[in-house]
Amino acid sequence: MSTQGIGQTMHVHEKTVMIVDDDRDIGDMLHNIIIDQTDYKVVWIAESDLALNAASYMRPSLLLLDYMLPTMHGLELYDRLQEIDNMRGVPTILISARATLPFEELRERGIYLLKKPFDLDDFLDVLAQFLS
């Protein structure tokens, strides 16, 4: 797990992507793609509870959430993060391979869905749109 920036408030002008995904392979892949292909900073957190703790110390430019997390699903984590002042309104992308998702709830919250598997260029395009 990468905890770059945890324990210190991140600067507002830095574009930081917070990834919450318990799958080490996916987390590493997303982290490496973002670091290698962009100038954004990345914080990758593998557990929902750790993400909730870290959220008090940061204001990411974008949140990438896995839907299937061990202790709570991505939408529940999103809702809990929205209760933290500096996390309110952070653009969010939910990543999932599930065929059935609560699409209406995603739409109501303004969460963008990126289905696994996804194309690298599509992923980078979505990042650029959200972080421009």
**Rounded CA separation 25/36 (Å):** 16
Cβ atoms within 10 Å, residue 105: 12
Judged on CB neighbours under 10 Å (0-12, 13-18, 19+), 110 is exposed
Q: Report, as an integer, the average pLDDT of 70-87.
A: 95
* 8-state DSSP, 84: S
Is the pLDDT at 11 greater than 60? The verdict is: no
C-beta separation of 67 from 73 below 8 A: yes
Is the pLDDT at 127 greater than 50? The verdict is: yes
Which stretch of 2-11, 61-70, 116-125 has the lowest confidence by average pLDDT?
Answer: 2-11
Q: Percentages helix, strand, coil for the chain, rounded to the nearest 5?
A: 40, 20, 40
Q: What is the DSSP string of 94-125?
A: EEE--S---HHHHHHHT-EEEESS--HHHHHH
Provide the mean pLDDT of the chain. 89
Confidence band, pLDDT 50/70/90 cuts, at residue 13: low
